[in-house]
Amino acid sequence: MGDGSFVEMSETEIRKEIEAGVAEGAKKAKCPPLTEDDIEKLMKIICDPRKFVSVERGNELVLTYDSQPLKFTRLGIPIAMPQILQIYERALMADTLEMAYVHYSAKPVKMILPEEEAAVAEALLITTPALLYGVMPNMPMYTKPDGPCENFTELMPKGLITEAQAAQLEAAALLETDLILLGKRMYEAGADGVDFDTTAAGGDAEFYAVLRAVEKLRAMYPKMNIEVGMSGEFILGFHGSLQYKGERLAGMYPHDQCRMVAAAGGTVVGAVVNTNTRKSFPWNLARSLTMCKYAVEVSSIPVHANVGMGVGGVPMQITPPIDCVSRASTAMAEVGKLDGL
Amino acid sequence: MAIVHSQASGMGGIRTAGDLVARMQLAKSMRLNDAKKFVADKLKVSLLDLTDEVAMREVREDLDIANVFMGYGAASRGIEAKANISKLLDLEINCVEKFKKKTGMLFK
């Protein structure tokens, strides 16, 4: 199930769940459903009796990550960040590396920027794959009580809509400045680029700030690698009226989010589809594949699906079952035709 | 999570050619199949060789572009390997450019 609990289903039940998930994904994102051939492939992957499923040789894809150092900190293993990246490179078969501060939000990194730059510069001498510096934009950190701007989530319930919109624009401007600063400093330290991960968790104003930051970084550094990982399948319209290049951001689904990131100057985009914990794994994976496959088809840049805890069909569980993760990974490559994960 | 994905669908990083394909995606926005073909052509190997650990270890050692084996006598590593990858893929790598500038070294 979407919460990670174990259930048994017949093939007929699984097919019904897949068909329902596909229909729901196509309806929500207003995109084409998976084809009959796709559904058959997905049936084979999900119904494979083995615990661990993998792609056929030749169907492998590229992996990018969110905050590799954080994953070791979570496990309570106190290793310095450059050495964690070496472990990812040489023991965990990582195609790319991502340096990041444990908080992972943009705002706190400013306070320790020289130390972070030093860690990046050190890691670049001893590692081989492309190395990005990753942060979450996390715009709500710029609002009270954590920041200087009025808290729009408190203003809106009071009916102070104009004030809430103004507060979001103020926070977005501060965020944009910080993202540009971080991108500039990390690129000057030698990083291949940046990853703005969980973009738009704070709504359409956060997405707006990230797109503007990407556009400006691209103008400053034409060869910078810029990945933008999204936070959800749907851009929450906390502001509601913000537009980028003439298009309203609120309500955008993955395929439109990918177009916007490409238009701003991103080189890779991370598509997200949220897991519904009350629905089955086949339902969630089918729904996720429906949206991601269409995003891949319409995007002009590589699309990496987010397939972590609670996204991309993976159950919302701190220890997600390997059965589900390996099937989601395989299906994203062979059914969704993703460029990466 | 990282282990499951790398085993189920990942290209294999520097154990194979995953890092090279990833570089072309991140730097040039190449789609997956285009990036694989580009790298295979540059390495003069087949597409299936790109994820063959045995074939790629030999290729990477011959080209001196790092491998997971980092013991005595190993291929170049880190910034050394990236300088070679930059030439091989005809791709400007930011830290390699900075290394050249700081050391005054010009690579042929």
Q: Is the pLDDT of residue A67 over 80?
A: yes
Q: Is the pLDDT of residue A61 over 80?
A: yes
Establish if A101 belongs to a structural domain: yes
Establish if A327 belongs to a structural domain: yes
**Region of A65 on the Ramachandran plot (φ > 0 left; ψ -120 to 50 alpha; else beta):** beta
The packing angle between helices A322-334 and A36-47, to 10°, is 150
Domain count, chain A: 1
pLDDT of residue B105: 77
Q: Is the pLDDT of residue A304 over 60?
A: yes
Mean pLDDT for the stretch of residues A248-254 = 97
Residue B7 pLDDT level (bands cut at 50, 70, 90): very high
Q: Is the pLDDT of residue B106 over 80?
A: no
Model pLDDT for residues B12-68, shown as the tens digit of each residue: 999 999 999 999 999 999 999 999 999 999 999 999 999 999 999 999 999 999 999
How does the average pLDDT of chain A come out, rounded? 96
A230 DSSP β-pair partners: A199
Query: Which of A61, A267, A332 shows the shortest C-beta gap to B27?
Result: A267
Q: Is the pLDDT of residue A120 over 80?
A: yes
**Residue A237, CA distances (Å) to A160, A202, A256 in order:** 15, 9, 15
Q: What single DSSP character describes residue A143?
A: B
Helix (H, G, I), strand (E, B) or coil at B41: helix
Q: A127 vs chain B: nearest CA distance in angstroms? A: 4
Establish if A340 belongs to a structural domain: no
- Which site among B1, B4, B7, B9 would you substitute to test the A interface, given the most A Cβ atoms closer than 10 Å to its Cβ? B9
Q: Is the pLDDT of residue B104 over 90?
A: no
Establish if A51 belongs to a structural domain: no
A271 DSSP β-pair partners: A305
Sign of CA dihedral A76, A81, A82, A88: positive
Global pTM reads: 0.95
Taking CB atoms and an 8 Å limit, are A92 and B31 in contact across chains? no
Please indicate if any CB of chain A lies within 8 Å of the CB of B23. Answer: yes
Query: Which of A55, A190, A338 shows the shortest C-beta gap to B95?
Result: A190
Model pLDDT for residues A212-239, shown as the tens digit of each residue: 999 999 999 999 999 999 999 999 999 9
In whole angstroms, give the CA distance from residue A97 to residue B66. Answer: 15
Phi, psi (deg, nearest 5) at residue A331: -65, -35
Residues in chain B with CB shorter than 8 Å from the CB of A82 are: none
Please indicate if any CB of chain A lies within 8 Å of the CB of B7. Answer: yes
Question: Cβ(A204)–Cβ(A240) under 8 Å?
Answer: yes
Establish if A172 belongs to a structural domain: yes
Residue B74 pLDDT level (bands cut at 50, 70, 90): confident
Residues in chain A with CB shorter than 8 Å from the CB of B95 are: 124-125, 131, 190-192
Q: B28 vs chain A: nearest CA distance in angstroms? A: 7
Segments forming the whole domain that contains residue A101: 11-46+61-334
Q: What angle do CA A226, A232, A236 make, to 5 degrees?
A: 105
Establish if A271 belongs to a structural domain: yes
Please indicate if any CB of chain B lies within 8 Å of the CB of A223. Answer: yes
Residues in chain A with CB shorter than 8 Å from the CB of B64 are: none
More confident residue, A176 or B73: A176
Question: Cβ(A254)–Cβ(A218) under 8 Å?
Answer: no
Taking CB atoms and an 8 Å limit, are B78 and A132 in contact across chains? no
Taking CB atoms and an 8 Å limit, are A128 and B77 in contact across chains? yes
Residues in chain A with CB shorter than 8 Å from the CB of B56 are: none
Nearest to A184 by CA among A113, A277, A78: A113
More confident residue, B70 or A44: A44
Mean pLDDT for the stretch of residues A136-159 = 96
Establish if A247 belongs to a structural domain: yes
Please indicate if any CB of chain B lies within 8 Å of the CB of A265. Answer: no
Residue A256 pLDDT level (bands cut at 50, 70, 90): very high
Residue B108 pLDDT level (bands cut at 50, 70, 90): low
CATH number for the domain harbouring residue A200 = 3.20.20
Model pLDDT for residues A12-48, shown as the tens digit of each residue: 999 999 999 999 999 999 999 999 999 999 999 999 9
Q: Tell me the residue type at A143.
A: T
In whole angstroms, give the CA distance from residue A111 to residue A117. Answer: 12
Please indicate if any CB of chain B lies within 8 Å of the CB of A340. Answer: yes
Residues in chain A with CB shorter than 8 Å from the CB of B18 are: 60, 62-63, 93-95, 129
Which residue does chain B place closest to A224, by CA atoms? B27
Please indicate if any CB of chain B lies within 8 Å of the CB of A53. Answer: yes
In whole angstroms, give the CA distance from residue A172 to residue A292. Answer: 28
Q: Is the pLDDT of residue B107 over 70?
A: no
**How far is residue A184 CA from its own chain's centroid?**
22
Mean pLDDT for the stretch of residues B99-106 = 86
Question: Cβ(A250)–Cβ(A240) under 8 Å?
Answer: yes
Establish if A52 belongs to a structural domain: no
Q: What single DSSP character describes residue B51?
A: G
Please indicate if any CB of chain A lies within 8 Å of the CB of B93. Answer: yes
